[in-house]
Structure 1
Amino acid sequence: MIRKLLLAIFGASAIGLAGCADDPTVGQEPFDGESTVTATVEFRPLVPALDRATRTTGDAIRSIRSLCVLLYDSKGDLVKKYPLAEGEGPGRYKVEEEERTSTPDSPTAEAKTPRATFTLGEGIPYGDYYIYAVANMGGLDDRADEIRTIEGLKSILLTWNEGDIAANDQMLGFFTAAGKVEKQAPLLRLNTKTAALHAWIRRAASKVTVAYDGSALEEGVFIYLKSVAIKDIPSTCKLGDKNTPDEKRQLIAQGEQIVYGTGTDYGENWHARITKGHPVYPYPAGEEYDPTREAEYKAAAHSEKAEALFFYENMQGEGKDKRQDSDDDHKLDAPGNKEEGDAGYKDDKPYGSYIEVKAYYRSINADRIGSGEITYRFMLGKDVKTDYDAERNHHYKLTLKFNRFANDVDWHIDYTEEDPGMLIPSPFYISYLYNHTMLMPLKINTAGREIVSLQAKIVENGWAPTGAPKSEYYFPADRPAEKPFNGFLSLRQTMLTVIPSPGGNPNKPTLETANKNYYESNYRHLRNYLTTEGSHDIDAPDPAQNTVLGKEGDGKYWVEIDRESHSSTFQIPLYTRAKQLIIKTGFTGNNPYEAYPRTAKVQFVARLRDAEGAEVELKDIATIVQVPRIVNPKGIWRKHDSTTPFHVVLKQLPQENATRFETFPSEGPWKAYVVRGDRSTIHLAQDTVRGSTDTPIDFNIFFEGCDADESKCAVIRVEYHNYSCYHLIFARQGSASIALVPGGTRWRTCNMRTATTEADCPTEEGSLFRFANWDDPIDATNNVADGFKDHTNTELLIAGTSTRKKWSQIHAANNKASFSDPTVGGKTLRVATFQDFEELYQADDIEQGYGVLYGNDATETLTEVGEVYGHSYTTHGNTDDRGKGYGMRGTFVYNKSEKNAEYSGRNLFFPIGVSGYGQRKNTDGYSNGTAVVKYAGIANTISDIYRPLFYDLYRRPGAIYWLRELVDDTGRPEDDYQRALGWDFNYFSFDFNLISAGNIIDNGGWVPTGKPSNTGTPDSSNACFVRCVEID
């Protein structure tokens, strides 16, 4: 709302005479002679008026381009005019800038205005005169008849130039004795040899600047400014007399306009967006919003050069109280939505000038959801109450202060909700994580009708990225409407992490059918909601099948009925699906893309019935956006004795192949808190840290330290985008071995580097080992993402030594062998077995997260991709800080339990390596190379509409970890899961599962079941990571 009304005169130009001169007086007797007149003409500075289609800068009409001095006798008749040209010497004027000082009694809106000085080229006969100055109208030769009298001069009718705003710079003033200020032109007596005169000239036009303040908005409310315009400005204006249009034809309906944005892509990239977190506009185009500069933004919005709307004077006098809540009862006295031409449309001032702001309004706040076009109007005048005089030579500083849900009661507001109608906040965001939920508000205006039914149906459900280049995914299989069962969204809660596969070894069409059957038979796409007030956990009967679909546990929803406003608000739960929708299909409820969202569409259909039994059907479609996956940061590790905090700023990639991460704003409020684990050792600044709409997710994690034989863990949950999206950060302090489940295996913290040493910290990847060979660990420095080059003849550095060996010199055992138990620091360990990993795979409380871990020397979230992924022992801790604080990608395995406080939040990290490819393949069928640094073997030669996410899996990141020994029978139903020799960490498709022996040892290395161990060919294995566990 408008807080203050301030008037300031704009542009008084002083026209004055230089040198020593006598003051002209009227009290002396006249006598014969001539007076040499030296004068100063100055702009009267713009008066600040409201302190609170083109783009015109605010200084567009401040120049003196021409000057004409007119002498009138005591009767008001023209004696002579003196056209002056710019230059030096008599009969010419010289322009320079003059500093202006604002005082409470004489406020100004301009720090400097032009000042013209001159000496007339000829003497003026002694006598009594009224002397006027006219600027920017040439020599007035075309106005000869009008300027014969003072009345004629003042009544010259100016015409507004719509095509050249700067041409509307006509000015008029009168001369006084130097140093004197007069409200009316005085009769001056010139009776001395020299006379010093001074004139203030005023523009016929004024200007208005408009600023915006959203600091009083509620969270989750967005205003997308589209334009501001001045309307109904006078088409003509009198040069000196009061200008009061009294007919519609004397007005220009559409004056100047400033366009802030076009189109309908209302999102975070709309520059002129007002929110609680970014409340001030305008701010410089091309710059990121900086909250620390808000005072600067506010000042610049009303500066002399700020974009302005210009208009001629329009004096409409006093009128009704224009405030929309003049009696402070918090209700609109003159509601909006009046038809143009209605008396209330312009506060009963049909010929007044007004400002109109057009915007798009969106609220995802559950207290008042809605969206649509909205218009704000304000009648110009010198106060915010009853004055409708838009006076000349004023700078009107207007600030539109949005209140709560953007309903600013000092302005007329045009915003309509359909009645009856359905309001859905669209788009609405959901987490990138699997098995997560959010509540979406849906409002139905009933117009007094009864809601008979409400049904939701998923009509599109995408597995593919939205807005991605076609090179980023297998686009022929992008069929969100035809195959919604492959998509990420569900209307019902999913409890499973992995949707089970049919038994045996089904083909691809069979797998797709199984996925479809699960989706449809469990009604993941369809739900009918009870419409009675309260919370509900079951469906209403389906109108088509006349039975209740689904079951209890599918997810609770709420209904709130407002009988006064005849509306019902539903809180509808929506869910992301399981991590893996049958493993072999590759489809996932977790967004695998770091740069792109995925999109689904849900159709809502409501039936309403009136008292006579007549029914009406309402339909609307909500767009549900699964946000891009966030990996930076995903975890923080500290040594046991460290108390160094970590500064979290969530960042995401703008494109999949980008080289820099970018900070992004939360579309709605956000908060962060410790949701699992040890809150005394690992904590935030408060129990819950909060941020406003449109601000970065930015907070600190603090560590208090623990004993050397301890490891403390916690999980921080970040809720952003109006709390509808979640991100988990896994924090750990200490390196002591831990079990993730009660009575389970105690896992070591770091990968193996050699036969007797582990990596220094969890962010170090360790070495790659060929199967059962401790003697030749392939050092991490060898492992570079080089486009799958052949390394047959590459000399590979052996970790812990200066020795280099070719791949053929690094031996591997056949599948009948096993890793011997290593000794580290005098303690005997063993390589993790299938049973150790399977324990985690089968445990109900164990889940996985995928992203970047920062280590002990990291203090903040990094930006450069090479740094975010690039932790290496070779640069870690260098004195020049090169490599210090770098991160590492990998998989977090954690205990999600709420009930078991001892194990809740415990987590392990498995790195995938700096290259992103935690494996070196013995032979690569795609490149025909040997010792190739590559995670997966599937190539993009596959044309597979059934498994599109596997289309380019060969270039996606991941890692393989060895099992201690081969397992001939895993007990899994699938045929190709019967023999396991490794564990698969798929960073892209989120697989955390065994990998069959045939994928990591070539056929030549196989020893068939029942055959002697010496029958297999050695040296046929890949090289993989190794993680050890404690031997109890």
Structure 2
Amino acid sequence: MKSNIIKILFLASFVMGVFSCTDDAGTERGFVGDGKTLRICLTSPKTTVINPLTKANQNDSKSVSDLNILIYNSDGNLIKEESEYLEEGSLQGLSENKNATFDLTVQPGEKTVYVIANAGDMRDILISTSAIDGYSFGLTSGGTPNLVMFAEGEPFDVSQPESSEVSAELKRIYSMVTVVVDASQVEGAIIEPQRVELKHVPLKGSLVGNNKITDKDGMFESGGYVSIQGLTAHENAPALYLYENRQPDGYSLTNTGIDKTPLDIYQKYSGIQTDPTIVSENQTCSYIEVTANYRPTGTEAGKPGTGTVTYRFFLGKNAKTSFDVERNVHYSITLVLKGKGGIDEGTWRVNTDLMEDFTVSDVYIGYLGGSTGIIPVSLPSGATVTGISRKSGDSENIFVNTSYDAQKKGIPVSSLLTNVSCDSYKHAIYTITVRYSSGKTGTKDVNVYQVARLVDPIAIYRRANNDAEETITVREFKRGAKDYETLASVGSYQVMIESGDWFMLESADGKDGIKGAGQFFERAEGEITFKYKPEGTIDNSKNRFGVILIKYNNKNCEHRIFLRQGYADTQMGDATWSVFNCLGKQQNNIYAWTEYPTQTGWLFKAGNSVAMNPFNPGYNDMTSMTKNSNEYYSDKQSRKWSNLSGSRSWTEKSNPCPSGYRLPTRDEYAKIAFSNNGYRMYQGFVYDDSSTPGTLDAGWYRDSSTGEIILNKLNNNCNPAKGTLIVDVKEGEDFRNLFFSYGKGVMTEHDLDYKHVEAGQDPSDIELDEIGVGFRNSNNGGFLNYGVAGSTKHHRYGAMYWTGTIGNLNTDNYLAADFWYDMTSQSDGTTSSYVVADIGGQNGMFVRCVKK
């Protein structure tokens, strides 16, 4: 005859410990092998002693007041006559951390045993195992969980030797939370923690399965509070309890809880959120609120600068992404405050109610006109913003609203103009005046920055058969360094696929990989660099387009990088455009064009098919092309500048375009030049796969020690190339784009008076020698220069492209498209005459072709 001993060990992750099951002298029971005795050995865990105030205490948590030992047959039905319900007096000191042994008489057969503690007699309720699966407990009248413990079912059969012993583990179906605040590192203030409150607790706790809040109807707003005045250690901290709440992981960029964002909020708002109004929309995740008194050093309670601060933290396994509250776990939270105690953070975590004091934070807005942002302003109760005035700085680009937006908890700010400078932030200081409930007033200054235009890169181009991975680095110009450096975001940044499902992006650390429109990854701060890889290759007759959207400086500023795989002709506007510039008639009488979009085309006089070198002779050289030479002309014939005459001799059959192509008309350029036609222009650097940037083979590079441009005069490579990118931004389109290079002519002189904005501010010319001059002037022997006629702006970056439309002025005039580096009129839809200019045919300009 056999007997079965079931060992039920009361083990909890509140405290680590294992207790052996041993015989207690004097306990009457059957013996192993008598065929009818079920022996159960239970032990109670040794838990931390705490001194509760208003809520359940440590003894409640560790104690066992009653016990259900439930036996079920193989069909899952309760065998009531074999099951037992034991109350105090029959528990043999189980709640006093002593071993207790129980003998039950059972019949042989396949059965399962479950154990439930602190639930009352459940034998008439849990009549089957399916009833156990669906059973849950509610809250007590005080809003706290029932301190139920449960051991999962274990099979046994006393008639089988191999199953004569069964181990089971009794676990709490709830969790415990203790909080301690360490304010020893706070500077200039005294912070006195007062109480901690548990928020968003489950209304029910299930015996089995993953218990969680699914909507607001399953949530109780407050799970109670306890005092934490004067506490410094978890050993004597009062506890709060809640049922298990198994929520999915969310997102965060820090490890402090400042920006910990629940999954539903992250998905709804497409990113991490810190605005308390937005984060509070979540109704399923449990969190704590710690309330503390705040008093600046040297002031007394009730005087200006004092008040309350509330710190909020979502519960979970960590402070970053976990919102998962598991049963049988002790969450010991230590809030470490530093500096000013976090009162200026203006995030979900901190809410201030300081008397007669308010906080503001600096703000960055994007370089494009119409960019917006919010100056965060945290006001004490009863206070109002009464004044917003500019103290100093920019008044042309930056606009700050004169009223406080209560819903957004701040002051709206926007940019009136595009900041065309590539290296100068627009900056203004504004003074905010607040009237407190007492009638007194306070003021604080805040910095508002409009960032400089980002130009490196604006686009990445690839051949159709190139699917290699490459690293993209976003760079901004630094005047002090006289070079482009990796952009470092002030605060968090986000990299998103705005359009395109044919490529992958991967974070620089390799932890995040994304594919598909709307997917993104974020980082707390730092340099913006990531990997890009097309998914396979395509046919040479096709193109694919995409957009990467980068939000930086706390995601207030935006920069887009446009992608293109494939160099096939592109339908835009009313024409099908080539992506290559013409090189002119060669020695073999072939009409050639470039192999890559960034390679520089050559320059033409109107009516001629022979092209002139766009970078040699160099900038403002007024003599070299007046002499006979064969190195400056595409057919290698010896001549001088004056031997090529501009004329109106271009026709459908006679122009620099290869067979099957022609010059675009004035209207075809104008169609894609204005935003009111659904197109937008961007200026900056475009990279392709013609060569490796930073090498001599790329056509140019900057010497790292001297800053000088080293130009390769033996090839047409120019990677990256500076120019204008025209993008189709109409809704429903694929962001197809065309790049118009300015060539690799290097500007070596600069206008000190060439300023885009009011006197005294930095010029849009960054005063650095760079590529990007694509125009030979008919005056002074065809010198390389792109100044503005009749203006003091003698030196600027840009290029002009011939159309096939005859001009209205002199006999050799054609109309030409004019692309300049600091261009703003094309972006706002105006019809400036400089977009398509009437210009003399004696000037040297680029040619782009469209299909006939």
- TM-score, length-scaled by structure 2: 0.50
- TM-score, length-scaled by structure 1: 0.42
Q: Which has the higher contact order (CA 8 A, sep 6+)?
A: 1
